[in-house]
């Protein structure tokens, strides 16, 4: 029996769309809650929703944090109701105009921009609404680039509800524009996260074990 067998059948069919980096920086960074079981978490904060699917949008990072991200994504992959959608990073050079940079001559440095995530989220929201896969769409993000997608869903599918959760760790009043276009909004409940952590070790479904990163 899968987790989907326990879903309430007569409640609104719901799909959750999680902006992974918004969740990380606005919800779990510098906390002990990074090993978050999204399936359990959203059922704790939305007990009256028939959550059919959680779409998690992210891009693979480079550098020393990559192994932690990879094991977390594998952990999410053990949940049958979570689907991961990947974007990408674009490297670029950024000019520093601070007087320190100008004085030392170190005016350019490398940076990375995450690409495609907001477009991926909007496309999936519109497609799920068009295919009538859900009655309620829950968006977890603070990105104002998603405003047009939310507005389009509301305009084309007025019977469907769009609820926005803003990951607002230490910044309770952000994403005003995104909040305004949603039918309903709230800050993402952070105090529930400690009750929705993966076990320190979980089977990977292939005979191996996934372990919580030591520095998490």
Q: Is 158 helix (H, G, I), strand (E, B) or coil?
A: coil
- Per-residue model confidence as pLDDT tens for the chain (216 residues): 344 444 455 799 999 999 999 999 999 999 999 999 999 999 999 999 999 999 999 999 888 999 999 999 999 999 999 999 999 745 545 565 655 655 555 655 554 455 589 999 999 999 999 999 999 999 999 999 999 999 999 999 999 999 999 999 877 678 999 999 999 999 999 999 999 999 999 999 999 999 999 999
Non-local CB neighbours of 181 within 8 Å, separated by 6+ positions = 147, 150, 151, 154, 162
pLDDT confidence of residue 100 = 61
Q: Is 43 helix (H, G, I), strand (E, B) or coil?
A: helix
What are 133-168's pLDDT values in tens digits?
A: 999 999 999 999 999 999 999 999 999 999 999 999
CA 49 to chain centroid, in Å, comes to 18
pLDDT confidence of residue 174 = 87
Instruction: Check: CB of residue 12 under 8 Å from CB of residue 135.
Output: yes
Q: Domain map of the chain by residue range?
A: 10-88+115-211
pLDDT confidence of residue 62 = 87
Non-local CB neighbours of 113 within 8 Å, separated by 6+ positions = 89, 90, 92
**Alpha-carbon gap, residue 51 to 137, rounded angstroms:** 10
Q: What is the CATH number of domain 10-88+115-211?
A: 3.40.50.1010
**Alpha-carbon gap, residue 120 to 18, rounded angstroms:** 11
pTM summary value: 0.85
Neighbours of 205 (CB within 10 A): 11
| Angle subtended at Cα 198 by Cα 196 and Cα 200, rounded to the nearest 5 degrees | 135
């Amino acid at each position: 029996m899968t987790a989907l067998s326990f879903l309430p059948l007569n409640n609104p069919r719901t799909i959750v769309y999680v902006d992974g980096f918004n969740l990380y920086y606005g919800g779990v960074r510098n906390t002990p809650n990074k090993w978050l079981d999204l399936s359990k978490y959203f059922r704790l904060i939305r007990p009256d929703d028939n959550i059919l699917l959680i779409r998690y949008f992210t891009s693979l990072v480079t550098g020393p944090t990559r192994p932690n991200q990879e094991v977390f994504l594998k952990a999410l992959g053990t949940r049958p109701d979570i689907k991961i959608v990947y974007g990408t990073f674009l490297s670029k050079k950024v000019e520093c105009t601070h007087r320190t940079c100008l004085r030392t001559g170190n005016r350019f440095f490398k940076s990375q921009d995450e690409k495609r995530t907001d477009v991926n989220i909007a496309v999936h929201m519109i497609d799920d609404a068009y295919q009538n896969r859900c009655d309620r769409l829950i968006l977890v993000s603070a990105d104002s680039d998603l405003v047009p997608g939310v507005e389009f869903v509301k305009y084309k599918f007025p019977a469907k509800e769009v609820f926005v959760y803003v990951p607002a760790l230490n910044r309770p009043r952000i994403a005003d524009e995104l909040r305004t276009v949603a039918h309903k909004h709230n800050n993402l409940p952070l105090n529930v996260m400690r009750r929705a952590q993966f076990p320190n070790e979980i089977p990977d479904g292939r005979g191996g074990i996934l372990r919580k990163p030591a520095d998490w």
